[in-house]
Amino acid sequence: MSGFKHSIKVPSKYKKVAAILKTAFESKKSLKSLIFEQKKHVKLRDMQALLTHYTDNQRAIDAAIEKCQILEENPRLSRELCITLVTELIYHRKDLKGDSKPVQTVRAYRKRIMKALGDENFAKKKDTKPRYVRINTNIVSIADAHAMLAENWYKKDCPPFENYDEFLKAVETLEENEYMVDMHVDDLLIFHSKQKYFWATHEYTESKKFMLQDKATCLAAKILNPPIGSIILDMCAAPGMKTIHLSNLVKNQGTIYAIEKDAERYRLLRSMTKKAKCKNIKPIEADVLTITPEQCPDVEYILLDPPCSGSGMQNRMCLNSEVDDAQRLQKLGGLQIKLLSHAMNFPHVKRIVYSTCSIHKEENEDVVKKCLYLNPNFKLLSAKKALRNKWCNLGDRQYDFGKKCLYSRPEKDLTIGMFIAIFEKLSNSEEVA
Ligand SMILES: C[S@@+](CC[C@H](N)C(=O)[O-])C[C@H]1O[C@@H](n2cnc3c(N)ncnc32)[C@H](O)[C@@H]1O
């Protein structure tokens, strides 16, 4: 649109979203990191929601824009602004603000775009994953949380579930005004997917009384299962969701060394854990590979949630073009092996949980295999057993240890995609044998 003067300005939200898309298309930066850079923008959540609608429906929107020839017939309209306005008009707010020229143009094409989208395609990709909300027990007890929620919601009464499928059925049939308690994580509550906006904007979330945290990401701390008052190392901690969960699990006692390398994300970790009233966290801004056991003495439990491709969250805020090429996966795998081997060098460590939100074996089973080979004084424990055998998706059976690892998969588990492996240090007698 450069060089063209509009008499009426395009609203700044649309311009900002279009600019983010342009950078994402042209550079190798991910949408998530670009939106993170806008974290002080007053319309951050709104922009995030708009971009999520686009990534959820990217193929359909791109195809419709092409089919109705709006860009060819209006050469001054940029592709990114067109995408922004179409997404806002059809999927997000269902309306456009103002009367700027680009807004008028997209409005005029509404019928043609809808036709191009086709009813089937348009209705197809809705996010039906439930809204998971975890109680931050540093601030609110579980009993008080239920009392607070009773003002607006009915608690679905569920008998003890015989099996995992029964539980999933109960989640899928939740009514919009109901919530239920998760079967694996007892401070995790499950709401209908339509309640996402309610929770995203509620004071309970802002004040960190409740944490918006996908179930899969709660499993890592739950499976590490540190006793109350333990000494824990959270190797890659920011923004701090799992750190706060760990703090809850150990009743805000003991010590959690929370390490973060990136200065900006470290600041976020500090402010999040402070707001969440964590008293047992020692944040350290450093590359964890330089952290010695002397700096974090007596660590017995380690959580390693390293940087990864994020492929398990593929349809959330991720463009189709952000593909995971083999070279990138190999590089990530190399770093993950280094980090996990470093964890295994802490002399008093008893248990380590390794988690990624990736579905690629290069970042998961391959990393586990290499680390077991390099560190024969560790063994894998069954993650399924840690969930009382009530879980289905396990690691790749082509690896002899595959069934000890766990995957969560969106299509079955109604969560994001994640991988988890639990390591335990062998006792002296096990090592000799
Ligand atoms: C997947 S995120 C962690 C998410 C976090 N566990 C949570 O639940 O909120 C990985 C984090 O590790 C940080 N990181 C990457 N390499 C690191 C290193 N060598 N030392 C410490 N932190 C690192 C990244 O900056 C990023 O914030």
Q: Is 237 in the pocket of ligand 1 (CB under 6 A)?
A: yes
Q: Is 239 in the pocket of ligand 1 (CB under 6 A)?
A: yes
| Cβ pair 180, 164 in contact under 8 A | no
| Cβ pair 421, 358 in contact under 8 A | no
pLDDT at position 6, please?
Answer: 55
Judged against a pLDDT cut of 60, whether residue 124 lies above it is answered with no
Query: Best mutation site among 219, 235, 260, 264 for ligand 1, i.e. most ligand atoms within 8 A of its Cβ?
Result: 260
Q: How confident is the model at residue 127 (pLDDT cuts 50, 70, 90)?
A: low
Q: Whose CA is nearest to atom 1 of ligand 1?
A: 307
Q: Is 240 in the pocket of ligand 1 (CB under 6 A)?
A: yes
Cα-Cα end-to-end distance for the chain: 72
List the helix and strand counts (H, then E) for the chain.
Answer: 21, 13
Question: Separation of 307 CA from ligand 1 center, angstroms?
Answer: 6
Least confident range of 23-32, 279-288, 296-305: 23-32
Judged against a pLDDT cut of 90, whether residue 130 lies above it is answered with yes
> Does the global pTM surpass 0.90?
no
Q: Is 363 in the pocket of ligand 1 (CB under 6 A)?
A: no
Judged against a pLDDT cut of 60, whether residue 290 lies above it is answered with yes
CA–CA distance, 70 with 82 (Å, rounded to integer): 8
pLDDT in tens, 190-220: 999 988 888 988 999 999 999 999 999 999 9
Judged against a pLDDT cut of 90, whether residue 387 lies above it is answered with yes
Q: Which of 27-36, 152-161, 195-204, 397-406 has the highest mean pLDDT?
A: 397-406
Judged against a pLDDT cut of 80, whether residue 430 lies above it is answered with no
Judged against a pLDDT cut of 60, whether residue 411 lies above it is answered with yes
| pLDDT more than 70, % of the chain | 93
Judged against a pLDDT cut of 80, whether residue 318 lies above it is answered with no
Question: Separation of 206 CA from ligand 1 center, angstroms?
Answer: 23
Phi, psi of 119, rounded to the nearest 5 degrees:
-55, -40
CA of 288, closest atom in ligand 1: 20
CA of 308, closest atom in ligand 1: 1
Q: Is 402 in the pocket of ligand 1 (CB under 6 A)?
A: no
| Cβ pair 358, 405 in contact under 8 A | no
Question: Separation of 262 CA from ligand 1 center, angstroms?
Answer: 8
CA–CA distance, 61 with 44 (Å, rounded to integer): 22
Instruction: Please identify which of the residues 82, 308, 318, 357 carries the catalytic annotation.
Output: 357
| Cβ pair 48, 21 in contact under 8 A | no
Q: Whose CA is nearest to atom 13 of ligand 1?
A: 236
pLDDT at position 433, please?
Answer: 67
Number of residues written out for the chain? 433
Span 215-425 CATH architecture? 3-Layer(aba) Sandwich (3.40)
* Three-state DSSP string of 201-259: HCHHHHCCCEEECCHHHHHHHHHHCCCCCCEEEECCCCCCHHHHHHHHHCCCCCEEEEE
* Mean pLDDT of all residues belonging to the chain: 91
> Average pLDDT, stretch 29-38?
79
CA of 269, closest atom in ligand 1: 9
Q: Which of 280, 279, 284 lies closest to 294 in space, CA to CA?
A: 284
| Strand arrangement, sheet containing 154-155 | 154-155, 178-181, 188-191, 131-135, 210-212
Q: Whose CA is nearest to atom 12 of ligand 1?
A: 236
Cα 167 → chain centroid: 22
pLDDT at position 176, please?
Answer: 93
Least confident range of 62-66, 345-349, 368-372: 62-66
Q: Which of 119, 221, 218, 134 lies closest to 179 in space, CA to CA?
A: 134
pLDDT in tens, 218-264: 999 999 999 999 999 999 999 999 999 999 999 999 999 999 999 99
CA–CA distance, 259 with 266 (Å, rounded to integer): 8
Q: Is 305 in the pocket of ligand 1 (CB under 6 A)?
A: yes
Q: Is 285 in the pocket of ligand 1 (CB under 6 A)?
A: no
| Complex-level ipTM | 0.99
pLDDT in tens, 101-115: 999 999 999 999 998
131-212 has which CATH code?
3.30.70.1170
pLDDT at position 119, please?
Answer: 54
Q: Is 404 in the pocket of ligand 1 (CB under 6 A)?
A: no
CA distances from 156 to 75, 175, 178, 183, 190 (A): 54, 9, 6, 13, 10
Catalytic annotation on 278? no
pLDDT at position 26, please?
Answer: 80
pLDDT at position 17, please?
Answer: 94
Higher-confidence residue of 99 and 3: namely: 99
Q: How confident is the model at residue 5 (pLDDT cuts 50, 70, 90)?
A: low
**In the chain, what are the domain boundaries?**
12-117, 131-212, 215-425
Judged against a pLDDT cut of 60, whether residue 342 lies above it is answered with yes
CA of 307, closest atom in ligand 1: 10
CA distances from 297 to 281, 377, 405, 423 (A): 14, 20, 29, 20
Q: Whose CA is nearest to atom 18 of ligand 1?
A: 287
pLDDT at position 110, please?
Answer: 93
pLDDT at position 63, please?
Answer: 87
